Amino acid sequence: MGSFIDEGNIAFWSALRNSNKTKDGKYDIYVRDFFSGWDTPSYDKEACLEYKNLDFPLENEKTIVDFKLIRNGLNYYFEINGYHYQYESKEEKPTYPGFFSQNQSAEIKNYQVNYDQKCVDEAIEKEWNDNSKLDILKFLEKDSTSIKAGESRSFNVVKAPEYAKENYVFDVNEEYKDFVVIENNLIKVNENAPEGLLEVTLSSESKKITDKYSIQITKDVQITENDYILATGGSYLSSSNSIVFPEALFENNGIGNETKYDSSPTYGAILKQKVYGCSFTLEFDVNNYNGHGQEKNNLLISLGGRFNQYYFSFGNGVANVNVYTQSLKQNRTNEGSNIIANQLSGLDGNNHHVRIHSNEGTIEITIDNKKVVFSEAVPLMNLSSFFMELPVRIATNNASCEINNIVTTKGEISNKNVYSHNSNYAYQQDGKYVISMLTNNGWDYRDRLDLNACTFKEFGKCQGAYIAKFKATLEGAGSSSKLCIRIGDEQEQEAQICFGENKIENGSFKNSSSINISKNDTVYVTIYRNNNGKANIGVAKNENDEPTYIAKEFENVSDNGIWLWARNSKNETTKKVYIENIVVENL
């Protein structure tokens, strides 16, 4: 049951999760706050460690659950079968209540909603009392990343009923009392504060200490590096050049965006050797991995762009592998998934050797020389990353470990000039690239799979600031035919050139304009991206004409290349689009 915003995949919810995958009526109560977007949740775990594997009543193998959710400003109160919880959000926008179910059938009965402030106040007063099943006042998402003297940090807390109507206070250890100022949930560290360990405690008004943790105070941002690795934010390089994610900082979330390369978190390490998407090998040892009892604990290997994410967790002789990639279903050529998971058992000890290899875009993973077999799908290199040099980043969340003996083989650029997950879709002929025409059914694949799409070797240079130009021609008279161009990662960052319809438009239909083109026309395409991630796509009828920019000021376009596909809404699949004279200039 959640609080939703009608602006895409944005919400807060309190929910049940069947972690043991059996119909025994046992569930975890967990909270997900993704008001900033699905890929970047600010909170995504059990409400607290005590809310795991709880018993709920069963009737004919159906779990009976009573939900109650209250929003009062930034505060959310929920009760699930008598289990209480309070959460403080930062999202001020109006929301509406609702239900969401994922891989689970459900029947909702006796649903009521009330927007009257008086009723909200009375419900909080009545329901949030000392008879709740759990008494809790704890820090929310302990951020143990070091603080530089002179900087500040805010702390959010979760409160159960005993503290719902009672204030709470922060305090720090004696050594730092003269060097910090506490204002509500904000702790400001004086620039004269000495280096050391700041211990932050959380107490009720009655001075009962309910939670605490430690943060390293530094004079400078912690950076350790050698010729091959840069580690920051509390992760560091040991004297033997191992990357250390220390136990004291295991709660740090260095992952950031879950589905694409994200360099914004400071906690993690970057390898200075980039790799080619088409043919790299990355090997390393994972020593002393500890998930600290957390349901969601991960070691991340992230390559540049979107859907090049590899997650590992280890424990009790088992390795869990979750891969966010484009993929190809077994025995099928037109369907796949972005998220693939598998488990490898029978591992010995607490130290493991991991190998990730790209063999012409097909991803192969082994752990302790045992191949990870993905039974449902084959992970593939992101289409637009195939010809590109990709950065490599290593991070953890809710885990501590050491990464040793890293060997990075950059690989060689592929001998291919065109790459598609469907080898029959695009090819080179007489010095031109040829793209086959999809029917309407193929149109649906552009976001999920990108199987029937392609990229070219020249586009491997489309990183940083660049201008890319090429000539595009439709074979035969155009009729409801489109050449689609995507830059970056998102659906909104695409443009559609509509042959035979006298229009050109962009995918989001914002900031767009059009020029008149005729059937069987040739157009000259110009794509420009600057170092700040803004991009434009323009077309012209003649090679030397100034382009008309049909897609203007795309924001936050990633360093993730260019890829193309073509479609026809009248099933005229014999038509082709020809691409030639590609020139990419890095600025």
CA distances from 299 to 268, 311, 319, 491 (A): 10, 6, 11, 28
One domain, residues 300 and 162 = no
Determine the number of helices (DSSP H) and then strands (DSSP E) in the chain: 3, 49
Residue 331 lies in a domain: yes
One domain, residues 88 and 153 = no
* 168-177, 502-511, 520-529: range with lowest mean pLDDT: 502-511
One domain, residues 116 and 204 = no
Residue 474 lies in a domain: yes
Which range in 55-69, 111-125, 165-179 is most confidently predicted, on average pLDDT? 111-125
Query: SS3 helix, strand, coil % of the chain, rounded to 5?
Result: 5, 50, 45
Per DSSP, what are the bridge partners of residue 485?
A: 495, 564
Q: Which has more confidence, 579 or 572?
A: 579
Residue 55 has pLDDT above 90, yes or no: no
CA distances from 237 to 243, 246, 270, 507, 519 (A): 5, 11, 11, 45, 61
Average pLDDT of the residues in 71-88: 84
Q: What integer pLDDT is reported at residue 19 of this predicted model?
A: 74
Q: What is the pLDDT of residues 400-420, one digit of tens each?
A: 999 999 999 999 999 999 998
Residue at a domain's end among 163, 191, 218: 218
Residue 568 lies in a domain: yes
One domain, residues 171 and 261 = no
CA distance 142 to 156: 9
Q: Give the list of residues 6+ apart from residue 257 with CB closer than 8 angstroms, or none.
A: 39, 40
| CATH number of 144's domain | 2.60.40.1080
> Global pTM?
0.69
Residue 504 lies in a domain: yes
One domain, residues 340 and 478 = no
Average pLDDT over the chain reads: 81
Residue at a domain's end among 127, 155, 182: 127
Tokens (6 digits) for 282? 């990355």
Q: What integer pLDDT is reported at residue 78 of this predicted model?
A: 85
Per DSSP, what are the bridge partners of residue 468?
A: 527, 584
Residue 287 has pLDDT above 90, yes or no: yes
One domain, residues 425 and 399 = no
One domain, residues 510 and 405 = no
Residue 99 has pLDDT above 50, yes or no: yes
Number of domains in the chain: 4
Indicate the helix (H) or strand (E) that contains 447: helix 445-448
Q: What is the pLDDT of residues 205-256, one digit of tens each?
A: 667 777 777 787 877 656 788 999 999 888 889 888 899 998 878 888 899 8
One domain, residues 370 and 230 = yes
Residue at a domain's end among 218, 239, 271: 218
* CB-based contact 333:426 (threshold 8 Å): no
One domain, residues 243 and 341 = yes
One domain, residues 436 and 575 = yes
One domain, residues 340 and 240 = yes
Residue 393 lies in a domain: yes
Q: Which domain range does residue 58 map to? A: 2-127
Average pLDDT of the residues in 272-295: 93
One domain, residues 527 and 563 = yes
CA distance 547 to 523: 10
Q: What integer pLDDT is reported at residue 502 of this predicted model?
A: 43
Residue 132 lies in a domain: no
The rounded Cα 491 to chain-centroid distance in angstroms is 15
Tokens (6 digits) for 529? 């991206």
Q: What integer pLDDT is reported at residue 131 of this predicted model?
A: 45
| CATH number of 286's domain | 2.60.120.200
